Structure 1
Amino acid sequence: MKLTDHTYEVPQPLPPGGPGTLIAATDHGPDPAFAAARHWTVLYHSVDAHGVDIAVSGTVLLPPGDAPSGGWPVVSWGHGTTGVADKCAPSQTPNLGFDVYAQELRSLLQAGYAVTATDYPGLGTPGMHTYLVGPDEGNAITDIVSAARHLSPDLAPTWFAMGHSQGGQAALFAARAAHRASDLRFAGTVAIAPASHLGTMLPGVIASGQSSELSFALYSLAGLSATDASVDLNQMLGPSAAQTASQVLSKCLKDSYAPLAHVTTRQTLPLKADQLGQVGKKMSAYGDPDRAPISDPVLIIQGAADHDVPPQWTAAVARNLRSLGSPSVTEHSYPGADHDQVLGQSICDVLAFFSAHGGRTPPDTCAPFSVAPG
């Protein structure tokens, strides 16, 4: 797979292929960063929210050694916010976005799971990343599992969706997209601090006065504009704020705060009340993960000290899914854990959930791992 300015080169026109058909793959061999797992970068067919055939990039990791009888079950991982520029695609980084994600995925590999990790549409491939557009993300999480089966005969048909933050939201959408891989057995979802309540994001950021929150708001507007032609980001923001947005959108999350140091939330989001209402409804319609039931088991995980995704929002997601008729929604809250720390604290409960729903028997020595405060 060839990169040009951090963008994977995609054949034009796309070769024929249904969702999950492999387009290209690069075998990197055993990766010491992931417990000597065999590591591929892949390009595969998926479908966006409007039914259009698209190419999506991602990563496939296979545990070292001989596969168990029946093959390795698969965890399809949805990453949290990294940015919307192509250089922010996790497949282009040695830790798949963040060190805590590398720790999490190593734990899964060591427990006997193969891992697929989509970049999501438009992140590493041509076009704007459709940030927080749930159908795009859910389809991509599902379709990479099918793509991985073109690489190795050692994968079991059983698979799980799992993700953190943006990826938690994406994993819940993947649960509804799992029927697309009809030859596989979808066994359940783990959503860790899932993004939700998207209709309140922009008013909340403006009212907070915290310029550091603007990155998420601008990423969300850019993602919405990429899927909804009626949303014109530059026209909505005006020249000055659009220039700030352009700087933020070109940077990955950790570097996106610098352009925001000398602006206010109201300067950067100069939207009137009616605009906020209209955009909020669109964001909610495309991205809230609790607007339809999920028929397979769901485990929702939340840190009680999370300041990025409020615990009360996640509790509301669980309530809403149950009220819609979802038959099996379990919640675990972790006192004192922030947005990232909850990953390390919950890993044994995650492995137990997988085991209870057709996954591998958890290791006897399972122990949480430490994550520095975020």
Structure 2
Amino acid sequence: MLYHSTNAHGVDIPVSGTVLLPPGAPPRDGWPVVSWAHGTTGVADACAPSQLPDVGSDAYSQELGALLRAGYAVAASDYPGLGTPGMHTCLVGADEGNAVADIVTGAHQLVPGLGRMWFAVGHSQGGQAALFAAHAAHPTGAQRLGGVVAIAPASHLEAMLAGVKASHVPGELSFALYSLAGLAATDSSDASVSLRSLLGNASAATASRVLAACSANSAPVLKGLDTGKMLPLSADQLHRIGERMGAYGDPDRFPVPVPALIIQGGTDQDVPPAWTDQVVAHLRQLGSPSVLERTYPGAGHDQVIGQSVCDLLAFLSAHGGTRRGACTTPDTGTG
């Protein structure tokens, strides 16, 4: 589907996405809706989950399958700029959060049989997006947000660039470049944050090749790159750009007005558990009415999706979702 949303600057934009329905007839009050927010797949149009047979990963397709079997309709946004004109504003929280909320309104106009109750659920970049969806710029009409589930939510964006530069791990560069491209797209009138201005001609040319590849296929492009040379930013630049990224994308700057479940893998190498602990503590300090945290020892960034599915379904059921049935966690291996 293609639907209307708004970006961080209040401009009306088109966003694409997918709506999935459980089999059979809807219940009398309609299927409750889970607005699924995906993790980072890339910034090129070909990386939009609606264009991918597994909506981004095997772990995601298993998660959505569990939601469908539990009786939820699923609305899955691609986010602004993925599958639609313009650069994807990666990690710009208001853009993503609005898109996650607005697809629910669009789905109601497109599909009969949807109920009033909806939930925002997401992983990684999508966990950040789900938390921002609770503050969507537009009300969702007759729909009621029952709760938010954020799995390993992206956070601490002010520290990301400096961390990637110091890591000397080429595989981490894709996230830094995606976020720089997202910042440049949302602040398009500011030439000082363009990739060419920040990185120089040679690194910007390499960055363009990284941006053209989806994250699942970026390893060959990233192999052998030097993080210091690819991010030739001074300490002052890292600080200033990091502050702007944090202002646009840190998901714990406002309280969450609905019940929230934050899920984290204990051995996550992409989103450190300590960061998520800090996000939870800060959301509580800000006055969020109910923030639960569940940590899964030994679970990595993607593995925690499958391991947490029963707790996810229990949380949704407790806050207006479908009645909880039997649940088993899939065997997703390690990582």
> Same fold per TM (> 0.5)?
yes
Correspondence for 1:44: 3
- Does structure 1 residue 251 correspond to structure 2 residue 213? yes
CA contact (8 A) 2:105 2:141 kept: no
User: In the TM superposition, what are the counterparts of 1:149-168 in structure 2 within 5 Å?
Assistant: 149-168=108-127
- Which of residues 161, 170, 181 is equivalent to 1:202? 161
Question: What one-letter code is carried by the residue in structure 1 that aligns with 2:231?
Answer: L
Correspondence for 1:370: 331
- Does structure 1 residue 111 correspond to structure 2 residue 73? no
Question: What one-letter code is carried by the residue in structure 1 that aligns with 2:324?
Answer: P
- Does structure 1 residue 283 correspond to structure 2 residue 245? yes
Correspondence for 1:6: none
Separation (CA, whole Å) in 2 of partners of 1:168 and 1:223: 17
CA contact (8 A) 1:211 1:264 kept: yes
Question: What one-letter code is carried by the residue in structure 2 that aligns with 1:236?
Answer: L
CA contact (8 A) 2:168 2:226 kept: yes
Aligned residue for 2:134, secondary structure, equals helix
- Does structure 1 residue 234 correspond to structure 2 residue 193? no
Correspondence for 2:183: 224
Deviation at 1:260, TM superposition (A): 1.9
Percent sequence identity over aligned pairs: 64
Correspondence for 2:37: 78
Correspondence for 1:345: 307
Correspondence for 1:38: none
Q: Which protein has the bigger helix share?
A: 2
CA contact (8 A) 2:31 2:71 kept: yes
CA contact (8 A) 1:341 1:370 kept: no
Deviation at 1:254, TM superposition (A): 1.7
Deviation at 1:293, TM superposition (A): 0.7
**Which ranges of structure 1 fall in alignment gaps of 5 or more residues?**
1-41
In terms of mean alpha carbon deviation, does 199-208 or 147-156 score higher? Answer: 147-156
Separation (CA, whole Å) in 1 of partners of 2:178 and 2:137: 26
Correspondence for 1:192: 151
Separation (CA, whole Å) in 2 of partners of 1:224 and 1:123: 15
Deviation at 1:52, TM superposition (A): 0.5
Separation (CA, whole Å) in 2 of partners of 1:307 and 1:294: 26
Deviation at 1:373, TM superposition (A): 2.6
CA contact (8 A) 1:292 1:324 kept: yes
Aligned residue for 1:325, secondary structure, equals coil
- Does structure 1 residue 126 correspond to structure 2 residue 101? no
Separation (CA, whole Å) in 2 of partners of 1:74 and 1:311: 29
Question: What one-letter code is carried by the residue in structure 2 that aligns with 1:268?
Answer: M
- Which of residues 153, 159, 176 is equivalent to 2:135? 176
User: In the TM superposition, what are the counterparts of 1:7-22 in structure 2 within 5 Å?
Assistant: none
- CA distances 1:271-306 after superposition (whole Å, capped 9, x unpaired): 011111110000000000000111100000001011
Aligned residue for 1:300, secondary structure, equals strand
- CA distances 1:49-104 after superposition (whole Å, capped 9, x unpaired): 00101000000001110111201000000000000000000000111111110000
Question: What one-letter code is carried by the residue in structure 2 that aligns with 1:308?
Answer: D
Correspondence for 1:19: none
When normalised by structure 2's length, the TM-score is 0.98
Separation (CA, whole Å) in 2 of partners of 1:351 and 1:281: 36
Separation (CA, whole Å) in 1 of partners of 2:25 and 2:12: 35
CA contact (8 A) 1:130 1:227 kept: yes
Separation (CA, whole Å) in 2 of partners of 1:144 and 1:273: 39
- Does structure 1 residue 293 correspond to structure 2 residue 255? yes
Aligned residue for 1:49, secondary structure, equals coil
Correspondence for 2:25: 66
Larger RCO: 1 or 2 (CA < 8 Å, sep 6+): 2
Question: What one-letter code is carried by the residue in structure 2 that aligns with 1:371?
Answer: T
Separation (CA, whole Å) in 1 of partners of 2:221 and 2:314: 43
Deviation at 1:239, TM superposition (A): 1.0
RMSD: 0.9
Separation (CA, whole Å) in 2 of partners of 1:59 and 1:67: 18
- Does structure 1 residue 312 correspond to structure 2 residue 274? yes
